[in-house]
A = this chain, B = another copy of it.
């Protein structure tokens, strides 16, 4: 991996763990092994580097989600697979975390990838839930868009809970809880 890639990677890591304000160019240099001059040769500054890092993280995030959404199984099975996908609960969401970073949200360029990612997630889930409703996999009375928002929120909130309690299990609890709510009134439930 070349220096440029190592810089992006290190920035992604630090952004995930410490956020934008908490991430200094010096820390990025230390983690990536690149020197001062090297970093400023490849990127104009902290903001430019952060943009590359955020776009990369958001892009990968969407690709991984898409792989599940367009994967095998019924609509409900794909929704469930997405919710059950393994995540590093205690580390939080690398994209969702950025919403709490005022400097990221204040910059339209930095903010855009975050916004797009959540738009894609809720959009895809809305479509899948609509399909699940039509096919009788879930209760047809459920509003697809509202339910999709609730599902995405459970995941994002699950990270908060996991970090607050210091246990990744709390994340699983929240996911189990919302899956229980969906499953218990699905036509195939006992």
- For window 147-164 of A, CB contacts with B under 8 Å fall at 147-161, 163-164
User: Is A115 engaged at the interface, CB distance under 8 Å to the other chain?
Assistant: yes
Q: Is there a chain B Cβ closer than 8 Å to A85's Cβ? A: no
Tell me whether A146 and B177 are in contact (CB under 8 A). Answer: yes
Q: Are A115 and B164 in contact (CB under 8 A)?
A: yes
Q: Which residue of B lies closest to A163 (CB)?
A: B99
Query: Are the CB atoms of A152 and B157 closer together than 8 Å?
Result: yes
Q: Which of A39-47, A69-77, A136-144 contacts the other chain?
A: A136-144
Q: Please determine whether A165 and B118 come into contact, CB atoms closer than 8 angstroms.
A: yes
Quick check: A143 and B176 within 8 Å, CB to CB? Answer: yes
Count A interface residues, CB 8 Å: 59
Please, which residues of chain B bring their CB within 8 A of the CB of A142? 177, 180-181, 184
Q: Are A158 and B161 in contact (CB under 8 A)?
A: no
Cβ A177 vs Cβ B156 within 8 A: no
- Check B165 against A161 for contact (C-beta < 8 Å): no
How far, in Å, is A136 (CB) from chain B's closest CB?
14
> Is the C-beta of A52 less than 8 angstroms from some C-beta in chain B?
no
B164 touches A96 (CB 8 A): yes
22 A–B contact pairs at CB < 8 A? A17-B102, A21-B22, A22-B103, A92-B100, A105-B163, A115-B166, A142-B184, A146-B180, A147-B181, A149-B161, A149-B177, A150-B174, A150-B175, A150-B178, A153-B156, A153-B160, A153-B177, A153-B178, A154-B154, A154-B178, A157-B157, A184-B185
